[in-house]
Structure 1
Amino acid sequence: MTDRPQTGAEYLASLGDGRTVVLDGERVESVPAHPALAGTAATIASLYDAMHGPDADVLLATTPEGVRTHAFSAIPRSRADLRAQREAIRAWQRMTHGWLGRTPETLASHLTSMAAHASFYGAQADAVRGALVAHQRGVVHHVQALVNPPVDRDLPPDEVADVFLHIVREQSDGLVLRGAKAVVTGAATAQRILVSHFGGEVRDDGFAIACTVPVGAPGLRLYARTAPAHADQPLATRFAEHDALVVFDDVLVPWEDVLIRDADTMLGHNRGAVGWNARLAFQSATRLEAKLEWIAGLAVRATEIMGTTSIRGVQAALGEVIAFRHVVSGMRDAMIEQAAPVGDEGLEGGRAWGPGVEPALAFSAYAPDAYSRMRVTLETAVASGLAHLPVPADGLAAHPGLAPLLRGSAGADAGERLAVMGALWDAIGTGFGARHELYERSHWGQPERTHVGILGLARATGRVAEWQRGS
């Protein structure tokens, strides 16, 4: 492994690792060549190539160990580092318009937080440090597998051994895992899976496992279904991420890849002891910022094409969408301004800095409902314009008589109308768009959990007591 980011070609070649991907019930022979996966794989490859292009200085940072990596994959040592990480995330997210939820820097939120608090992981501390270094070298594309399949949710996780992921046996060379994880976004086009647990708290060490696993590991199988897309859907053809069921059939995980092995550590890890939640919110807010910028720009042009921009209600709807972008951006920047030193003392390069937890939790509570409201707002403001798509944008040549009937206002011809409205429809109205609303709504799990966490933090930090004294 080199001490530089992999190229797009190297990433695509790595997907030919013998992985077992079953899409729509059929085995995928080649991920980069499959019609439903090729667009996303090519998009991710372009992100890797950008780290070797003119934006390299924005995208990259050098670790104290001398590894040149994506800036977000380095442990931040100051607010200035967090600002640089914001710009590196932005650069990638504006290439994808925020539509890929699992770009290769995403899971650095977990790996950097864990390595900055390596002593918390006890006997697995060296494995935690090693996992980050292995990710930094090449910017290995991880996705996460946290959620148990939606079955027997009325039982503790460690009482559902016939379905949920657990340790079958412990060997001198590692742990053998059996069971399944659900809704593993983007697994088919990833290189490794960061396996952990989130949901009902485990009490049995046999179910409290966090590790990293190659997607091509023997015994690992991915099952997913596509969201049907037409060739003229500009988002679905480039950015579709399929949510997979990942099945572990006695998969051996070497000890150097085992990050958590006991229930107490897993509980503390999930309750914010190392701050991965805030780091993930920092990355997610920057991604959503890019997504909302793209949607807002397209929505404004859509109303210009319809000739409705002078209508006060339409103006108010567009302003609300733009305000959503501003709120997300502001909460992310508040995470920088409220950042503080965290983690282990004596860390090479200086102590880590973590984003502010209060604005991170506020973002995770606010964004899901706001995204759904944004979608309804645009459906109301653009209305029939989203349905006025009688032919694909590339089908006009075969029907020249339609062009005069499909022209738009504000100088738009039929081609632009179909392209703009088709893209906006793909964003909010197609199966791709509906899946993204579900993704944003489910990104932080149960809303009640987030809200309870906000209350708990306010009590623990003395906020509630302060407010009560002032009332």
Structure 2
Amino acid sequence: MNKAFGSGAAAVAGVKNGAEHVAAVRDGRAVYLDGKKVDDVSTHPAYRHAVASAGALYDYQADPANIERMTFDIGGGRRVNRAWQLPTSYAELVERRKALVEWAELSGGFLGRSPDHVASSMSGMMMGIEVFDNYDPKRAQAFRDWYDYARKSDLFLTYVINNVQGDRSKAFGDQGKNAQDMVARIVDEDASGITIRGAKLFATSAIMANEIFVGSGQPLRPGEEHLAFSCALPMGTKGLKMLSRKSFEAHAPNEYDNPLAYRYDENDALVFFDDVKVPWERVFLLGNTDMCRAQLHDTPAHVYQNYQAQIRLSVKLRFLVGLARGIAKTIGTINFPPVMETLGKLASQAALIEGMVLGMEAGGAMRGDYFLPNKHLLYAAQVQSQEMYPQIISAIRELAGGALLMLPSSVDDFSNPEIADIIGLTQISPAMSGQDRVKLLKLTWDAVGSEFASRHLQYEMFYAGAQFVTRGHSYRTYDWERAAGMAEKMTAKYDLPEFGAE
């Protein structure tokens, strides 16, 4: 195994490791790429390194040197990742965050839907289980039992909570002929469970996950009760089909030329449920459009999943800022005043998100038995990061300039002595060798300019919803009464002067 994909340390019994995870994805799951069914995602050239990178996360937590920081004891001789921890205090929330930071650092934050993301969401649902109890005690118990199983197994979960776009000017029922299969819906219900048919988006990391949570994060209208359900399924479930987008890993033949796409192309997929039977013990809500919203927003699920995303993003921004400084050193502009100004702004942007994560924690509060990060600071961070990420990418491209374009075609150029000599003459740097300069700039291109990088730009701008969505969350959660009250108190201090006749 590549040194980047695993620690090589002996695993500890009772803690999930990489070998266990890689073995688990060999379950006959139906993944389709380029018109063909993929036999084994763990060995296929389009996915094998991403699967190995996921395995490396579990190897890291199972390393005896990391186990106390990365996992916690749930009893029965079992330890699981801290993403499953339900913090009951500020200190526990911080302890949990530190573990999530370490996982994100292994990929530079480029695994957007690492296993801690949906685990955080489901843990948030569990913290608000009374919402399910008030809806239907049987469905609440089904969620409790499944969550307990998922946590004990330390599952890598993904989710699909978006519907296919279609014609956004029309309701689901007005989409036209054969539109009934466009969006996953309930087509049957009997004593053993429900049957669902249709599609859902966006199954990021589904090709290497253990199970998938299916729900709806978008508002549903009256009359769309057949679209209102949530459940969980193993990825190898009969009738569950994943239509993979283009694999960037498949087009990254070596690590030197595309180090990020080679390792961390987590993939995105459309999931089609071809008359998939879901047993009742895996059905968490059914036919209630308001509960579809409530399971995410009336529980801490939405807060915890996006809190994890901001933790990961803070790591990614730190990586990108470090890359920016490396570029400036490499091309000899580090002491130019305009470059220092740009680096200073980049550093402030990275620090802003990191500081807001710390603020979410410091400004958090108890909700029943559990400690939650501050909701408004979370949504404020999302608004800021959606705007900042494209700015940061643009600034790095500007710092690098044409250096990103004039690079050797591939690492194989170094195998030709004549060409290697020319590379050595033209790829000069005051800070490193020509080979190391090329290495750094190819990493930079994969982070800001490649097809892989373009996908990440789109992901960071829209994974939490369009900007009007995140700004709406910010609007709804801000303490407007306090702000307006300050203005009212100020105006109450003075009145219109009296204009008496002289």
Indicate yes or no: 2:151 matched with 1:136: yes
Q: How far does residue 156 in structure 1 lie from its aligned partner after superposition?
A: 3.3
Contact residue 4 and residue 138 of structure 1 kept, 8 A: no
Instruction: Within 5 Å, give how 1:150-189 maps onto structure 2.
Output: 150-157=165-172, 161-189=180-208
Unaligned runs of 5+ in 1: 344-350
Equivalent positions of 1:347-386 (< 5 A) are 351-386=369-404
CA–CA separation in structure 1 for the residues paired with 2:29 and 2:120: 25
Contact 2:427 2:438 in 1 (8 A): no
Q: Does the CA contact (< 8 Å) of 2:90 and 2:361 recur in 1?
A: yes
- Greater shift, 104-113 or 420-429, is seen at 104-113
Please give the TM-score of this superposition, normalised by the length of structure 2: 0.88
Cα offset, 1:65, TM superposition: 8.0
Distance 2:383 2:333 in 1: 33
Matched, 1:47 2:48: no
Aligned residue in 2 for 1:219 = 239
Equivalent residue number for residue 102 of structure 2: 91
Change (3 A) 1:263 1:379: same
> Relative to structure 2, which stretch is displaced further, 326-335 or 409-418?
409-418
Deviation larger for 15-24 or 272-281? 272-281
CA shift for structure 1 position 451? 1.3
Task: Mark the runs of 5 or more structure 2 residues left unpaired by the alignment.
Answer: 1-11, 491-502
2:111 matched residue in structure 1:
100
Alignment equivalent of 1:229, drawn from 252, 260, 266: 252
In structure 2, the partner of 1:33 is 43
1:449 Cα deviation (Å)? 1.8
CA–CA separation in structure 1 for the residues paired with 2:96 and 2:485: 34
1:177-202 Cα deviation digits (max 9, x unpaired): 10001221111111111111122424
1:93-132 Cα distance to aligned partner (Å, 9 max, x none): 1111100011111112221111111121132111222232
Residue 24 of structure 1 contacts residue 226 of structure 1 at CA under 8 Å; is this kept in 2? no
Of the three residues 1, 6, 12, the one matched with 2:22 is 12
2:432 corresponds to 1:412? yes
Give deviations 1:345-399, integer Å, cap 9, x for gaps. xxxxxx1111110111111111111001111111111111111212334531323
Provide the rounded CA distance (Å) in 2 between the counterparts of 1:324 and 1:408: 31
Deviation of 1:60 after TM superposition, in Å, equals 0.7
Deviation per CA, 1:191-247, whole angstroms, max 9, x where unpaired? 111111122424332211111111110001001122333422000010002211100
What corresponds to 2:9 in structure 1?
none
For normalisation by structure 1, the TM-score amounts to 0.93
Tell me how far apart the structure 2 counterparts of residues 301 and 457 of structure 1 sit (CA, whole Å). 39
1:66–1:259 CA distance, 2 compared to 1 (3 A): farther
RMSD of equivalent CA atoms = 1.9
Match of 2:452 in 1: 432
In the other structure, the counterpart of 2:278 is 253
Residue 337 of structure 1 is aligned with which of 362, 366, 374?
362
Secondary structure at 1:170's aligned position in 2? Answer: strand
Identify if the C-alpha distance between structure 1 residues 190 and 202 changes in structure 2 by more than 3 Å, giving closer, same or farther: farther
Tell me which residue corresponds to 1:327.
352
The answer to whether the Cα contact below 8 Å between 2:413 and 2:420 also exists between their aligned partners in 1 is no
Q: Among residues 105, 119, 122, which one is paired with 2:130 in the alignment? A: 119
CA distance in structure 1 between the aligned counterparts of 2:68 and 2:348, rounded to whole angstroms: 31
Distance in 2 (alpha carbons) for counterparts of 1:133 and 1:394: 50
The answer on whether the counterparts of 1:156 and 1:201 sit within 8 Å (CA) in structure 2 is no
**Structure number with larger C-alpha Rg:** 2
- Tell me: CA distance 1:3–1:273, structure 2 relative to 1, closer, same or farther (3 Å): farther
Q: 1:303 aligns with which of 328, 349, 355?
A: 328
Post-superposition offset of 1:155: 2.8
Residues in 2 aligned to 1:197 and 1:66: alpha-carbon distance in whole angstroms: 36
Distance 1:418 1:309 in 2: 18
CA distance in 2, matches of 1:218, 1:287: 33
- Taking the aligned partners of 2:396 and 2:106, their CA distance within structure 1 comes to 23
The residue type equivalent to 1:169 in the other structure is D
How far 1:67 sits from its partner (Å)? 4.7
Q: Deviations over 1:26-72 (max 9, x none)?
A: 21111011111011000110111112101111101224787521112
Q: Does the 8 Å CA contact 1:144/1:195 hold for their aligned counterparts? A: yes
Amino acid corresponding to residue 229 of structure 1 in structure 2? A
Conserved in 2, the CA contact under 8 Å of 1:5 and 1:138?
no
Distance of 1:221 and 1:186 partners within structure 2: 14
SS in 1 for 2:232: strand
Distance 2:109 2:197 in 1: 34
The question of 1:109 aligning with 2:130 is answered no
Q: Give the structure 2 partner of residue 346 of structure 1.
A: none
Indicate conservation of the 8 Å contact 2:428/2:434, yes or no: yes
1:282 touches 1:332 (CA, 8 Å); kept in 2? yes
- CA distance in 2 between counterparts of 1:103 and 1:295 reads 19
Between Structure 1 and Structure 2, how many residues are aligned?
461
* Aligned AA (1:456): R
Single out whichever of 113-122 and 370-379 deviates more from structure 2.
113-122
- AA aligned opposite 2:252: A
Distance 1:296 1:28 in 2: 37
Output the amino acid matched with 2:200. Answer: K
Distance 1:438 1:209 in 2: 28
- Judge which range, 439-448 or 151-160, deviates more: 151-160
- Could you tell me which amino acid in structure 2 is paired with residue 240 of structure 1? D
Describe the shift of the 1:101–1:158 C-alpha distance in structure 2 as closer, same or farther (beyond 3 A).
Answer: farther
